[in-house]
Structure 1
Amino acid sequence: MNSLANQHQSHLEKLEQYVCTLYETKDQLRDHIYKRAERAFRAGEEARAAITTIDSWKNRKQQVKQAFYESIGMEEKQQSVKRPIAPPVQLVTTIEHDDYIVEKLLLEVRPKHFVTALLYKPVCTMDIAPNTYPAVLFLSGHEYEAKHSDYYHRVCLRFVQAGMIVLAIDPIGQGERISGMTDSEDQPVWGTGEHQRLGVQCYALATSIAHYFVDDAQRAIDYLVSRADVDSSKIAVTGNSGGGTQTAMMMLTDERIAAAAPATFIMNREQYLLAGGVQDAEQVWPGFTAAGFDHEDILLAFAPKPTLVCAVAYDFFPIEGAEQTVANSRKYWEMFAKAELLQLATDQSLHRYTDRLACQAATFFIRHLQAKEQLPSELWLTSFAAAEIEPLPAMTTEQLLVTTTGQVRTSIADARLITDELRILGQQLGEQRTAQYEQQPLDYAQKVFQWLEQRVVDHCARKPVNFKPRFVKVDTIDEIEVQYWLWWSQKDVLNSGYLFRKVPSSNRQTSSSSQPIAVAVWPRGTTMLQPYWTWIEARCNDGEDVLVVNVSGEGPHEPHPLYNKPNYLFFGKVHKLADELLWLNDSLAALRTYDVVRAIQFVREHLIKDEQQKVVLYGCGLFELYTKLAAVLAVVPHHFIERSDFTVEKWIFDHMQAEEDVMSVIFPKILKYIDLEQLPERVGEKQ
């Protein structure tokens, strides 16, 4: 490296590390989002406080159920009118035990979509066996083996011991339903990693991965209802962690559920916001918080049915939230004079469906689902936990595998996975967009422009203010002056950037004022200059000014990390902030696209020298999404510096491995409206 190159590197390193003392901005994006969430929480509390009659409760129940269905992109089914027939089921084999039998089942919940399941049935020791049993749908949390793990096997046996049939199913991405995805290091992903990748695809396709979790569980209920040995009026649902989420979703969507015990999930959104946790995609319901709904509304919608909320003291789902939500919800049961049917069970434990909670849930279900003459004695209830029925030995849990290879995808040649379904949905949306464009191109362009403008510019939370710009001259590199500019993108949120401008010398003509100003956006903004210096220098030497923009939460505005996790990977701080915006019916991608639109407006108002000077927009990598959309809204030419290997479309049709910055470019429903590859040309026809 020559001395000039060394000098450039030294200058650029200092610029990348520069800290402007005019304003502290690292917490601004977080504070902006949290304030919006707090306003939504308060509005929800006020709306629930106004519920004082059964009629007002009914109205709220309908509102929350409808909001949930809309959030996950699923049409509401009229459960009470007519249900679809039970899914086709294959009984693979049966395991017999002294106290119970286990049926290994394959449920075809949708054509060629198979759910692996275990059905436990008590072996009756009475002289006369009952004709029908109460049943429990057990929904697994984020455990690798899911329904056949030793942990959940023992939990299920508590319900069997209480005299109930139990159907335990594998969720998407766990147990025998792992899709075979890998990360950027080619390591397999499952559970939260798979759920998040599928969730990213679903957001773009105007649906939700939660949709598929709900559909699987509802079809499992269809199967239970069809069994002659199940009392269809006495079906309960339970699960913890991710299974607690699934339980809550079933409480909102399936009226056939007679009792529920959501474990280690129910809390409230405000407590979780402050606790700092990040959830995976099926646990994030876009727009739900914006509409004023919270976990209290989940319980409200299930009232006055028997409900046992299970919580542990040392959970990352704050127990304070569970206690507050149960206390606030008691009034809905009191309206029906059934306050005793809402209970809170707790244990001193980390995040887990403990044996104590399993025993409490089992006895709760038996108390409220059995006929009075069948109720066990109080002595039985008090001694229940003392003696448990014998589990299958840990070494034989592999016997609980339903498929021959341990995975549906490798055992059933024509089995379809969620990834297959999403590809088909992506193709259908693409065909619909193409047909709309070919039939009425101007109408299509107008529709896209209006939708985009509403999501980005006219969003109810956007509060534009005077730019109030300020700048500091920070360096000069080879006759290129560097200024650091700050301006308000919206109320409470500052953006910034470096303006690179060739300094006129005494022996050189001043560059033409009609030369364009290049506005550039890339990940990490001004803290990542060295890879782009050649490009910046070339633009400046051609007489252009270059503004490298730091959008909200980028560059010097990067938020403080969450639990020392990388900010830009899944489950880091940017993921959390992106999720909170989804809850608020917004997105980080829309907010940052707005930042770019405002940056263009700022340049036009404060940096343009005359009316002949134009703005040209450059995007790089995944952040090209922001510049593509902003170019349409601000009516400026668009170019790219360096294309990303992955685009939103490719995430649908190819396997997404890399996760860096992915949550920054989630724009819900975008593929329903926009063909991103042809966006500037097609929507540009409107102008």
Structure 2
Amino acid sequence: MIGSYGPWAKSLNLEKLPSHSFRNSEITDLDAWRDATRKLVAERMGAVDLGSIPKVVVHQTGSFEGVVFEEITYQLPSGNPTKAVILKPENAKGKLPAILGLHCHGGNKFLGLDKICKTKADIPSYVQNHHNTYYEGRAWANEAAKQGYVVMVHDAFAFGSRRVLVEDVPVPIRQGITDFSLDTEEQIETYNSWASEHEHILAKSLFCAGTSWPAVFLAEDQMALSILAAREDVDSSKLGCAGLSGGGLRTVMLGGLDPRISCAVAVGFMTTWVDLLLYKSYTHTWMTYVPILPQELDFPEILGLRAPLPTLVLNDIEDQLFTLSEMEKADEILTEVYAKANASDKYKCTFYPGPHKFDKAMQEEAFAWFDRWLKG
């Protein structure tokens, strides 16, 4: 990725155990290690506080293909209101376990929650194409709700309703865009191309503010979790989260850093810092990176902070975003962490054939994992 400088950069910190790795023999107190290291990660990110739970406004309710839904919004301290959807089985009674569904990146910031859920049959072709490409035609959050869960999906920071609007930035960085209507698929593609390039500006700007993109999306995901947990129809002691790709990254961060997540399923985002440094950083968003942290934890160990809580990792063998040997190394790291935590039965990693995706077979394994740990 950086030519002849790559091996030198790797030698700086990535050829020894990170300083805060639970795999270090001198670290023996799991709870103390977890508490201290979560605080460290929050410091490295530049954690942000979004305040108290905002008022939730319900805009529409209804039923669709076996689930009832609520379309809601809530206002965070900055930006446009966050759109979210709540899904649960028809005729559900009492408190149910809940899953925070975390949508993917997919190079598409115009879309957010629509990538993994639906409340009507008539959806735009570009949304259905996304479902077909990554989820074997399914809106997987709907399928999860049918299994007996309250599922919430919200637009992540910089996506969907939370996206950066071209008309809100200075003219010199609009790349000549003058039509902001986004009424056609061509206009949406133009916006997504612009938003891809704007990632550099967004990440640099957040660094200048003393924070980072991971800190902001994590804070917004935690707020969504708080809204979900506060619902009267949710058993707040049985909360899970899951997502593919960018949603897998968000699962690593939320599952690793928020103790309220009882069960986590990270899909299509598990590797090592070495993989990103030497081979694959060009395939990934700025959402991934936390300065200095690789000195202290390898990437899988962020998710490993949740040990001994149940954790499932689903990988694709031909995933073009990662190097297979480094995905396997990440599995070895998490296996070692969970073994040391005397919780080997709480960790599982499965490799599926094919490219980057979260297909029906993978979804069924994820649902079974949630059933095992959230319904028991």
TM category (shorter chain) comes to 0.7 to 0.9
User: Which residue of the other structure, out of 86, 99, 112, is the alignment partner of 2:66?
Assistant: 99
Indicate yes or no: 2:185 matched with 1:188. Answer: no
User: Which residue of the other structure, out of 243, 249, 270, is the alignment partner of 2:247?
Assistant: 243
Q: 1:217 to 1:49 in 2, by over 3 A?
A: closer
User: Which residue of the other structure, out of 120, 126, 147, is the alignment partner of 2:87?
Assistant: 120
Question: What amino acid is aligned across from residue 9 of structure 2 in structure 1?
Answer: R
Asked if the contact 1:117–1:170 (Cα under 8 Å) also holds between the matched residues in 2, the reply is yes
User: Which residue of the other structure, out of 5, 9, 17, is the alignment partner of 1:36?
Assistant: 9
Question: Identity of aligned pairs, percent?
Answer: 21
Q: 1:361 to 1:319 in 2, by over 3 A?
A: farther
Task: Deviation per CA, 1:380-400: give whole Å up to 9, x if none.
Answer: xxxxxxxxxxxxxxxxxxxxx
Q: Distance in 1 between matches of 2:159 and 2:78?
A: 20
Task: Deviation per CA, 1:445-501: give whole Å up to 9, x if none.
Answer: xxxxxxxxxxxxxxxxxxxxxxxxxxxxxxxxxxxxxxxxxxxxxxxxxxxxxxxxx
Q: Distance in 2 between matches of 1:100 and 1:274?
A: 45
Q: Distance in 2 between matches of 1:258 and 1:107?
A: 25
Q: What secondary structure sits across from 1:227 in the alignment?
A: coil
Q: 1:96 to 1:218 in 2, by over 3 A?
A: same
TM-score by length of 2: 0.80
Q: Distance in 1 between matches of 2:300 and 2:159?
A: 29
User: Which residue of the other structure, out of 170, 174, 192, is the alignment partner of 2:155?
Assistant: 170
Asked if the contact 1:53–1:335 (Cα under 8 Å) also holds between the matched residues in 2, the reply is no
Shift of 1:162: 1.7
User: Which residue of the other structure, out of 71, 81, 103, is the alignment partner of 2:44?
Assistant: 71
User: Which residue of the other structure, out of 313, 318, 321, is the alignment partner of 2:326?
Assistant: 321
1:559: which partner in 2?
none
User: Which residue of the other structure, out of 10, 24, 32, is the alignment partner of 1:50?
Assistant: 24
Task: Deviation per CA, 1:422-451: give whole Å up to 9, x if none.
Answer: xxxxxxxxxxxxxxxxxxxxxxxxxxxxxx
State how 1:148-547 maps to structure 2 within 5 Å: 148-149=114-115, 150=128, 151=131, 154-181=139-166, 183-186=174-177, 187-189=190-192, 192-278=196-282, 279-289=284-294, 291-315=295-319, 316-371=321-376
Q: What secondary structure sits across from 1:349 in the alignment?
A: coil
Q: 1:236 to 1:52 in 2, by over 3 A?
A: farther
Q: 1:340 to 1:130 in 2, by over 3 A?
A: farther
Asked if the contact 2:263–2:309 (Cα under 8 Å) also holds between the matched residues in 1, the reply is yes
Structure 1: 5+ residue runs without aligned partners? 1-26, 78-82, 372-687
Question: What amino acid is aligned across from residue 95 of structure 2 in structure 1?
Answer: T
Of residues 83-92 and 130-139 in structure 1, the stretch that sits farther from structure 2 once superposed is 83-92
Question: What amino acid is aligned across from residue 68 of structure 1 in structure 2?
Answer: V
Asked if the contact 1:180–1:188 (Cα under 8 Å) also holds between the matched residues in 2, the reply is no
Q: Distance in 2 between matches of 1:228 and 1:193?
A: 42
Question: What amino acid is aligned across from residue 369 of structure 1 in structure 2?
Answer: L
Asked if the contact 1:345–1:360 (Cα under 8 Å) also holds between the matched residues in 2, the reply is no
Q: Distance in 1 between matches of 2:222 and 2:76?
A: 9
Question: What amino acid is aligned across from residue 178 of structure 1 in structure 2?
Answer: R
Q: Distance in 1 between matches of 2:232 and 2:314?
A: 31
Structure number with the bigger relative contact order (C-alpha 8 A, sep ≥ 6) is 2
Asked if the contact 2:67–2:145 (Cα under 8 Å) also holds between the matched residues in 1, the reply is yes
Indicate yes or no: 2:34 matched with 1:61. Answer: yes
State how 1:139-150 maps to structure 2 within 5 Å: 139-143=102-106, 144=108, 145-149=111-115, 150=128
Question: What amino acid is aligned across from residue 76 of structure 2 in structure 1?
Answer: V
Q: Distance in 2 between matches of 1:52 and 1:236?
A: 32
Structure 2: 5+ residue runs without aligned partners? 116-127, 167-172, 178-189
2:183: which partner in 1?
none
TM-score by length of 1: 0.45
Asked if the contact 2:80–2:162 (Cα under 8 Å) also holds between the matched residues in 1, the reply is no
**What root-mean-square deviation, in Å, do the aligned CA atoms of Structure 1 and Structure 2 show?**
2.6
Q: Distance in 2 between matches of 1:304 and 1:295?
A: 17
Q: Distance in 2 between matches of 1:313 and 1:234?
A: 31
Count of matched residue positions in the alignment of Structure 1 and Structure 2: 332
Asked if the contact 2:301–2:333 (Cα under 8 Å) also holds between the matched residues in 1, the reply is no
Asked if the contact 1:173–1:195 (Cα under 8 Å) also holds between the matched residues in 2, the reply is no
Question: What amino acid is aligned across from residue 282 of structure 1 in structure 2?
Answer: M
Q: 1:70 to 1:192 in 2, by over 3 A?
A: farther
Task: Deviation per CA, 1:346-396: give whole Å up to 9, x if none.
Answer: 22121122222111111101111103xxxxxxxxxxxxxxxxxxxxxxxxx
Question: What amino acid is aligned across from residue 121 of structure 1 in structure 2?
Answer: K
Q: 1:330 to 1:224 in 2, by over 3 A?
A: same
Q: Distance in 1 between matches of 2:323 and 2:251?
A: 18
User: Which residue of the other structure, out of 77, 89, 100, is the alignment partner of 2:56?
Assistant: 89
Q: 1:321 to 1:183 in 2, by over 3 A?
A: farther
Shift of 1:109: 3.0
Q: 1:194 to 1:174 in 2, by over 3 A?
A: farther
Asked if the contact 2:218–2:254 (Cα under 8 Å) also holds between the matched residues in 1, the reply is yes
Q: What secondary structure sits across from 2:157 in the alignment?
A: coil
Q: Distance in 2 between matches of 1:130 and 1:276?
A: 46
Question: What amino acid is aligned across from residue 74 of structure 2 in structure 1?
Answer: L
Question: What amino acid is aligned across from residue 38 of structure 2 in structure 1?
Answer: K
Shift of 1:168: 0.8
Q: 1:269 to 1:112 in 2, by over 3 A?
A: closer
Of residues 306-315 and 188-197 in structure 1, the stretch that sits farther from structure 2 once superposed is 188-197
Task: Deviation per CA, 1:516-563: give whole Å up to 9, x if none.
Answer: xxxxxxxxxxxxxxxxxxxxxxxxxxxxxxxxxxxxxxxxxxxxxxxx
Q: 1:319 to 1:137 in 2, by over 3 A?
A: farther
Task: Deviation per CA, 1:145-173: give whole Å up to 9, x if none.
Answer: 22113427611123113211111111233
Q: What secondary structure sits across from 2:139 in the alignment?
A: helix
1:550: which partner in 2?
none
Question: What amino acid is aligned across from residue 137 of structure 1 in structure 2?
Answer: L
Q: Distance in 2 between matches of 1:178 and 1:84?
A: 21
Q: Distance in 2 between matches of 1:146 and 1:90?
A: 19
Task: Deviation per CA, 1:651-672: give whole Å up to 9, x if none.
Answer: xxxxxxxxxxxxxxxxxxxxxx
Which of structures 1 and 2 has the bigger CA Rg? 1
Q: Distance in 2 between matches of 1:205 and 1:61?
A: 27
Q: Distance in 2 between matches of 1:192 and 1:252?
A: 27
State how 1:596-635 maps to structure 2 within 5 Å: none
Q: What secondary structure sits across from 1:202 in the alignment?
A: helix
Q: What secondary structure sits across from 2:317 in the alignment?
A: strand
Q: 1:349 to 1:95 in 2, by over 3 A?
A: farther
Shift of 1:328: 2.4
Q: Distance in 2 between matches of 1:217 and 1:193?
A: 24
Q: What secondary structure sits across from 1:206 in the alignment?
A: coil
